[in-house]
Structures are given as C-alpha cells and as structure tokens.
Amino acid sequence: MVFSMTAFARQTSTSEQGQLTLEIKSVNHRFSEVSLRLPEDLRFLEPRLREAISKVVQRGKVDCVVRYLPPEVQASLQINRDLLTVLTQATQDIEKLLGKSTPSNALDFLKWPGVIAAPEQDLQVLGEQLLAMLQTALEELSENRSREGEQLKALILERCANMELQVERVKARLPIAIDAMRQRLTERLAELKAELDEARVEQEMVLLVNKSDVAEEIDRLAAHIGEVRRVLEQQQPMGRRLDFLMQELNREANTLSSKSVDTDMTRAAVELKVLIEQMREQVQNIE
C-alpha cells in the first residue's frame, strides 16, 4: 500500500482531569524523525509516545504537540491551612517585634506560594487518556496518509502509461529514422560525385546505425516502468526504491535523447524526461 508522508490529525479529550489536546502532523523527509512537545507533568510518557509513533510512521518528519488545560481553577481551589496558620503566626510575631500592629490583609496571604493550590491531578489517568488519544490520532493519520498515497499512486501510474506510449512511439519510429539516415547519406555521397567503395560505404553505415541504436535504452525503459508498477503494489515503504528508479529512468531518457537521429524521437525523449520529473516530484512524498 502506498502511504504519503504528508498528513495531519487532531484529537481532544475533556474529563474531570481537565482537557487534553493532541495534534500530530507529518511531512516528507529522507529519514524518520519524531519531534515531541509535551507538558512537563506528562514528560514521563515520551518514550511510549515515540515508540507508538515509530510503529506507524516509518519514514518522514513527525511533529506531535500535546496541550493540557487543568480543570477550572475557581471550582477547585484548595487552601493549605497548615501553611496559612504558620504565616499568620509569623506575621503576629513580626508585628510584636516591630512594636506595631496593622490589620492583616487576606489577599497578601493568598499571594504567598503554596497557600492556594489546585488539587493534584492523577497523572496515571491523564497518561492513559493521552495514549488512547494518540492511538486514535495515529489511525486518523494513517487513513489520511493512505488516501493521499492512493492519489499519488494513480498519478504515477497515469504517467507510466504515458511513458509507455512514448516508448512505443520511439520503437515504431526507429526503423523509419534509420532508413531516412541511410537515404540522406547516400544522397550526400552522390552529390560529391566521387567513386565510392560500396563495401566501405556499407561499413560506415553500419557504424552510424550502431551509434544511433536505442534498442537497449527502449528495453531498459520498459523494464524500469514495469518495476515501478510492481513496487507500487508492495506492502512496505517504497519511497527510496521509487526514487532510485526515477534516477534510472532519467538516465535512459537522457541517453535516448543523445542518440536521437530524428525529430520525432527527440520530441519523445523530451516528453519522457518531463513525465519522469513529474513522477519524481510525486515520489518525494511517498514513504
């Protein structure tokens, strides 16, 4: 199955523990790279998150961001009575030492660190929620990558079909081009009005034909196109292999162009290189 390296997924969960939001996106990359941004309290889950992502995304750059919003503070404030008692006593002692008494301001006590705190959250419960959200997000991500991958596959197969038409065009044109080259050479020699050695002329003609023979390039192009089709049916990451095949196809198309002895063959070679470049751009996004 063909997977694109470009996709996005988002999950949100709200419970008594607060609200968790997870966003995960992937883009094309030569290797596998996972970047995580987690709230400090959930940092202990990083190894498990990385492991889960790596099982699903085998190539590409993945960014995963987790945001945590605790429950409403107004509904969950708690007073640290022991600390407040200590602060009150300390305030009274200071006032006695200074020999003056001023009304205590409750707001001043509330500003002291630790006097008011939100109740501690059950991080284990939060962690289980986050892992469940990640699995759902990864399923969504995989569906998106698969859907886009199938579109890329269709585009590549369409260009493979067009390439095969160009290859058949060259194959059909080759004997005509060779005959035309032979005719031009004969006419040119006739213009020179020189006594010619027929055996020598035939030998030179054979050399010219050999230099312009593109049968091997045509066969290799057909073989590479067939290999592209085969690779697209594999059930494993295929992007690097397809990228290598694009290089080989481009090599054969360049050789075909350099050996061309006919305008139509040159046009076909140029069209082949255009189609290969279009495929190469699509292959860059395949895992």
pLDDT in tens, 163-220: 999 999 888 888 787 777 677 666 766 666 555 566 665 665 655 555 667 888 899 9
**Domain total of the chain:** 3
For residue 27, being part of any structural domain is answered with yes
Start-to-end CA distance of the chain, whole Å, equals: 10
* CATH number for the domain that contains residue 213: 1.20.140
* CATH number for the domain that contains residue 54: 3.30.230
For residue 85, being part of any structural domain is answered with yes
- Phi, psi of 207, rounded to the nearest 5 degrees: -65, -40
Choose between 197 and 283: higher pLDDT. Answer: 283
* CA distance linking residue 286 with residue 237, whole number of Å: 8
Token pair belonging to 81: 């009575």
| Same domain assignment for residues 196 and 265 | yes
Token pair belonging to 74: 């107004």
* Residues composing the chain: 287
Q: Is the pLDDT of residue 101 over 70?
A: no
| Same domain assignment for residues 32 and 157 | no
Q: Is the pLDDT of residue 90 over 70?
A: yes
The answer to whether 129 and 13 have CB atoms below 8 angstroms apart is: yes
Full residue range of the structural domain in which residue 86 is found: 79-117
* CA distance linking residue 205 with residue 181, whole number of Å: 9
For residue 1, being part of any structural domain is answered with no
pLDDT in tens, 238-264: 999 999 999 999 999 999 888 877 788
For residue 38, being part of any structural domain is answered with yes
Token pair belonging to 129: 């929620």
